[in-house]
Amino acid sequence: MSELHPLADSYLDLIYDGPTAELRARKDLDDELAAQLTAGNHVCIRGFWRIGKTTMLKAVLQRACERSGGAALFFDLRDPERDDGLPQSAEAVLERLTKKVTEFLGRVGATELKADPKAPLAVLGELAAPIFVGLDELLSLHALGAEKMVTLLDALLSTPKNVRVAMVVHRHRDVDALFETALIQRPGMASAFVPPISDDELVALVNGPGLAAGVTFSNEALGALAEISGNRPWELLSFCFLAASKLPKGFTGEIGPDAIDALVNLDELAESDEGRALVDNALRTLVTAMTPAEKTLCELLAVGGEGEVPEDAIAALEAAGLVTAGESYELNGAFFAGMVSAVASGAIKVAVE
């Protein structure tokens, strides 16, 4: 039996299993992207790590099916037989996808159809209904090399008219330019960055589980959560878990802002797997996912420095929800700003550049 407060267990479930349908944030964007699919476009869902891309991909597939009466299949491009998940060849990816399509054909009662191992999605054109294919973890394909990756992407996106593809693309500075030309600028491709959630969505995501456990976060605590997390749901839920994990098991009542403010220090975060994951994710985003210009911008904002930053770097980080513009630019989320400042000042040393 868990020794944690029941609310902490609820947040753990949300962190590792994803939110239930009633707690799904960003439903408007789900609907917009589903409309793109049903209108005949492919869809590319973009963002940094742990921003909710895979959850959104699955929601978009579901909404597209509801809108059209079609069916969907979901495919993770990572190799499940390898610890690093990196596929070893395009042929291996197509072989696994062929098996997935064959399973799907059996599920919809079209066992007489056979998938071509060289073009497994082509057979879906024999079905009368709209078919939506979700491809997760496109970043893993970089292991194939640029030329083979582009060739494979062309094959996966050359689909019959009734088959549309929605895919997840991580931001990574080593492959961003390639994805931009091979995917984002591709005719018939709609793309969107996954944004932070709204304040109303934050309240529902935090206090929805809380009400069931007899616990609520005060308005001031909710404001502190928004300020710390930058309204990024995975960070938000992680801080909610860390706060709830410190509650006595039988506690009911209100959580105030002091319980949130006390969490944002490296010693505190290092005490739990979830806290360490927050730190690791921030560093991975800063070091591997951002371009040098984007990283420079974040460091300037975090330490209050001055310098020239290209407009496209500012625009990209605004679109991704990490930078907000008011009277001046600022980093979205005190936790991330603190991590950037620690790296910029040398308090945290990172080996990957």
Q: Where in the sequence is the domain holding 288, given as residue range(s)?
A: 276-345
Give the distance, in angstroms, between the CA of residue 168 and the centroid of all CA atoms in the same chain.
8
Q: Give pLDDT, residue 21.
A: 66
Query: Which of 167, 193, 219 is the C-terminal boundary of a domain?
Result: 193
In a domain, 322, yes or no: yes
Q: In degrees rounded to 5, what are phi and psi of residue 34?
A: -65, -40
Residue 353 resides in a domain: no
Tell me, yes or no, whether 171 and 47 share the same domain.
yes
What span, in angstroms and rounded, lies between the C-alpha atoms of 246 and 65? Answer: 42
Check which CATH number belongs to the domain holding 215 and give it: 1.10.8
Q: Are 42 and 130 in a shared domain?
A: yes
Q: Are residues 88 and 155 in the same domain?
A: yes
Cross-strand bridge partners of residue 193: 46
**Cα(136)–Cα(77) distance, rounded to whole angstroms?**
6
Report pLDDT digits (tens) over 23-82.
676 788 999 999 999 999 999 999 998 888 998 999 999 999 999 999 999 999 999 999
Residues 12 and 45 in one domain: no
DSSP 8-state secondary structure symbol assigned to residue 140: G
Cα–Cα distance, 112 to 123 (Å, whole number): 11
Give domain status of residue 82, yes or no: yes
Residues 44 and 170 placed together within one structural domain of the fold: yes
Residue 95 scores a pLDDT above 90: yes
Number of domains making up the chain: 3
Neighbours of 224 (CB within 10 A): 24
Among 134, 167, 193, the domain boundary falls at 193
Q: What is the CATH number of the domain that holds 100?
A: 3.40.50.300
Mean pLDDT of 84-112: 96
Rounded mean pLDDT of the chain? 91
pLDDT of residue 270: 84
Helix (H) or strand (E) holding 285: none
Q: Do residues 37 and 186 both lie within one domain?
A: yes
Per-residue pLDDT, averaged over 252-268, amounts to: 85
Residue 326 lies in a domain: yes
Q: Quick one: 138 and 40 in the same domain? A: yes
**pLDDT for res 353:** 45
CA-based end-to-end distance of the chain: 43
Give CA–CA dist 103/292, Å, rounded: 44
Say which amino acid occupies 209.
P
Q: Determine the Cα–Cα distance for residues 214 and 76; give it in Å rounded to an integer.
A: 38
Specify the 3-state DSSP secondary structure of 305.
Answer: coil
The C-alpha atoms of residue 83 and residue 143 are separated, in whole angstroms, by: 14
For the segment 294-301, the average pLDDT, to the nearest whole number, is 93
Task: Choose the most confident range, by mean pLDDT, from 140-154, 250-264, 302-316.
Answer: 140-154
Rg of the chain over all Cα atoms, to the nearest angstrom: 22
pLDDT value at position 186? Answer: 95
For residues 230 and 196, the answer to whether their CB atoms sit within 8 Å is yes
Residues 57 and 177 in one domain: yes
Same domain? For 90 and 64 the reply is yes
Q: Mean per-residue pLDDT for 168-184?
A: 92
Statement to judge: residues 207 and 227 lie in one domain: yes
Residues 130 and 148 in one domain: yes
- Bridge partner list, 47: 170
Q: How far apart are CA 238 and CA 51, in angstroms?
A: 12
Predicted TM-score of the model (pTM)? 0.90
